[in-house]
Amino acid sequence: MQDATSLIRTHLGDPRCGWGIGTFGAIAEFHRDPGEACHTQDLETLTTVTARGGLQIDPRPGIEIVAYEGLSADRRRWVHGLVFCLSHADGTGGQRTRLTELGPDHAALLPRDRASVLFDIGVGAPHLDACIRTGDPELLALLRRHVGEHVVQAGHAVLRAIIEASPHRVFISRLGRAEVFQTIATDASPAGPHTHLFPKILGAGRTHASGIPLGNDALPCLWLFPPNPVFDDRGEQKPFDPVQYAAFQSLLARYGVPEFASAKSRAKDALSSRRAPDSIPPPRSRLERTALRIALRQFESEHGASPLTRAWRDAFDPTAETVRPGLH
């Protein structure tokens, strides 16, 4: 646990890092700008609160850290992050599937919010209590009329009212809570803290995207997104940053999955030696295929395109360069 606490403390102090508490289809993200004023910035209690939202992290024994890299639809890019996992025995929360009133939020990060009422909207994830918090009498009355209903479905009156009223969102796991004060955006994700909720994706009943290599007993209770070396926190392409690249590669070497690391290493060695794409064994799994494609993208970001990398692209990474990724 000490290793996890130290890692969290280091990155919580870096405003270039993003954080998330959520599940596949629902997540609260916490971001702050460099120089942004904080109501609270306490690296001992692992708490940061700004005018737009807040994050409090509560490490506990049994944390497993997994570093990962993933593909972007834009083949100039890749995404990366760290997942702080607990076992099902340690990481399971309320598992509510119906709108539930939880009472005043005595654990709110700011004293002003502790008399407001917390409602779990019922996403049903084992490790996430996705809540809203309000003291608005009109919204309270509507929520109480619908307590006990399945409200996480497109077009439900409660979801429409939540979007219109934009109450605080409070996402809680066994490793902490993220609070979002900003208005709910209905188009592009805003800068700073924000939430995503996709009822159709939640219907898949998964805790994380399939490309992230977590064990069967691992619940992703906290996400860390260090700065990416090829795009900024607004999703805009930027010149390759070798320092940010090396920093995450160090984390990947320590916390990554060995199968992924080995496949990436084979591909990078072959590229550095100017060998043809058929000089390495074909990937045997989805994870190895992903590793190979990311190795190619990273090599090209460092060294530029060439006839050699184009041959590797034709063989392994023919993805169209049309779609921007999200932050992670």
Domain extents in the chain: 95-173
Q: Is the pLDDT of residue 156 over 50?
A: yes
Q: What is the mean pLDDT of the chain?
A: 93
**Can you give the pLDDT at residue 326?**
38
Residue with tokens 């049309």: 322
Q: Which of 214, 189, 188 is nearest to 23 (CA)?
A: 214
CA 108 to chain centre: 22
Residues 6+ apart with CB under 8 A from 277: 270, 311, 312, 315, 316
Tokens of 309: 């990398």
pLDDT bucket at 1, cuts 50 / 70 / 90: low
Q: What is the number of alpha carbons within 13 Å of residue 73 lying toward its C-beta?
A: 7
Q: Which of 121, 126, 122, 128 is nearest to 97 (CA)?
A: 122
Tokens of 284: 């045997």
Residue with tokens 């992903």: 290
Tens-digit pLDDT profile for residues 12-25: 999 999 999 999 99
Residues 6+ apart with CB under 8 A from 276: 308, 311
Question: Counting beta carbons within 10 angstroms of the beta carbon of residue 224, is it exposed (0 to 12), middle (13 to 18) or buried (19 or more)?
Answer: buried
Q: Is the pLDDT of residue 321 over 50?
A: no
Average pLDDT on 15-36 reads 95
Query: At how many degrees (to 10) do helices 307-316 and 286-303 cross?
Result: 160
Residue with tokens 């996400």: 223
DSSP-based helix, strand, coil % in the chain, nearest 5: 30, 25, 45
SS3 132: strand
Eight-class DSSP state of 25: T
Q: Give the whole-angstrom CA distance, residue 1 versus residue 325.
A: 32
Tens-digit pLDDT profile for residues 163-215: 999 999 999 999 999 999 999 987 777 889 999 999 999 999 999 998 899 99
Q: What is the pTM of this model?
A: 0.93
pLDDT bucket at 320, cuts 50 / 70 / 90: very low
SS3 274: coil
